[in-house]
Amino acid sequence: MVFPFRSLEDFKIEINQDHELFRESMKEFMEKEVRQHVEKGENSGDIPKEIKEKSKELGLYGLDMPEKYGGQGGNYIYLLIATEEMSRVWPSMATFFLINWMFSNAINKFGSEYLKEKYIPDIVSGKKVAAFANTEPGAGTDVAGIQSVAKKIDDHYVITGKKMFITNGDIADYYIVTARTSSEEKRWKGISMFVIEKDFPGFKVESRISTTGLKASHTAELSLNEVKVPKENLVGEEGLGFKYAVASFDYARTIVSAQAVGIGQAALEKLLEYSLQRTSFNQKLASFQMVQQKISESMADIYSSRLMTYWAGNLYVEGKEDDYVSVASLAKFFSTEAAERTILRAMTVHGGYGVSVSTGLERMLRDIQILKTYEGTNDIQRLSAAKYMLKKVYGFS
């Protein structure tokens, strides 16, 4: 046994030649087709339509979805590779795809065949955009604290409530929405999940929310005023929405970790390039021991983050759910904070240029703050990982 997991097999990372070929394609795509649009896109708050169209050619919308629904049929590792390479150039773009993947994954895992056939093909083809509306003004990490209500009336549900900080919220066509189908006293047992469309009467995008980072990711506030939803649009079983939502966040968590790896990698590259380019006291910055220390510490941070991220991904692929959830929590908080440390080191080495907008480092620093918060705050990830260890190894709960 390899403490605290069952065997050495649980620590393996399997990345094959197809994965690496895909990585090269992603790198080429991001450098040739996307990088030139990043600053303008962040300033305008949008990802150009032409990039979204070209992304279809790589199959980015449905990487892990079954071929029968128009997907690529790849495994979870493809999502991590795509996310890392996107985030190395434009994290907002990775966030756009993350939410589309979350929607399709939830429908594919928990939805009826009717929902799969109706909604997944539109998302994986890039014809439609999806959002995942769970967070509310008074309920974020506390998923069971949502107040939106869904009342069953004959052959439909009527949903009323508000949703906050919803990514893709003002540009989506389809939304996964969580709402209470029984009393608040039941907490997590009384939540259900639904699919609604932007044109359903009573649904409204209240406003787009300006955020510190990921400025092209479209964060919005939504309201639902007696939105009539067909009973067929209930995802899975009534009352299991909390379980489905938590599973969806678990799915997304390591993808966020891959985002952080991509951002951290970009910061490390800037640190290395500038230290080799800049001369001070008749020496390259790279020749100074304090700079070398920052380089080596950043290398350790990013390499460790990448290994932990793909380790979690491998556990997901193998269906080792309990171990996966624990490692995903570790990967998420470690990778986001490792990226932040690397960015700050790079800013220090850049001196005055480090705080200028032109280097792109300040944008990375703003972006990483959001990654530390969404899909479960870093504090809750620490608690989750510790509770898993204490319960599994020592039987403490």
> Residue 2 domain-assigned?
no
Given the residues 42, 238, 340, 375, select the one marked as catalytic: 375
Domain CATH for 83: 1.10.540.10
- The pLDDT value given to residue 196: 99
**Residues 390 and 329 grouped into a single domain:** yes
> Residue 3 domain-assigned?
no
Known catalytic residue: 226? no
**Residues 298 and 390 grouped into a single domain:** yes
Closest to 329 measured CA to CA, from 387, 242, 267? 387
Domain CATH for 320: 1.20.140.10
Q: pTM for the full model?
A: 0.96
> Residue 137 domain-assigned?
yes
Q: What is the pLDDT of residues 54-93, one digit of tens each?
A: 999 999 999 999 999 999 999 999 999 999 999 999 999 9
**Residues 66 and 210 grouped into a single domain:** no
Q: Which domain holds residue 196?
A: 131-240
**Residues 274 and 366 grouped into a single domain:** yes
Domain end point (choices 222, 240, 258) = 240
**Residues 287 and 372 grouped into a single domain:** yes
**Residues 80 and 176 grouped into a single domain:** no
Tell me how many domains the chain contains: 3
Domain CATH for 217: 2.40.110.10
Confidence of residue 8 (pLDDT cuts 50, 70, 90): low
Q: What is the pLDDT of residues 130-172, one digit of tens each?
A: 999 999 998 887 888 899 999 999 999 999 999 999 999 999 9
Confidence of residue 240 (pLDDT cuts 50, 70, 90): very high
**Residues 384 and 255 grouped into a single domain:** yes
Burial code (b: 16+ CB inside 10 Å, e: under 16) for 281-297 equals eeeebbeeeebeebbee
Spatial contact of 212 and 220, defined as CB atoms under 8 Å apart: no
Checking if the pLDDT of 1 tops 60, the result is: no
Interhelix angle 91-110/76-89, rounded to 10 degrees, is 160
Domain end point (choices 217, 240, 263) = 240
Q: What is the pLDDT of residues 348-367, one digit of tens each?
A: 999 999 999 999 999 999 99
Domain end point (choices 98, 128, 158) = 128
**Residues 230 and 275 grouped into a single domain:** no
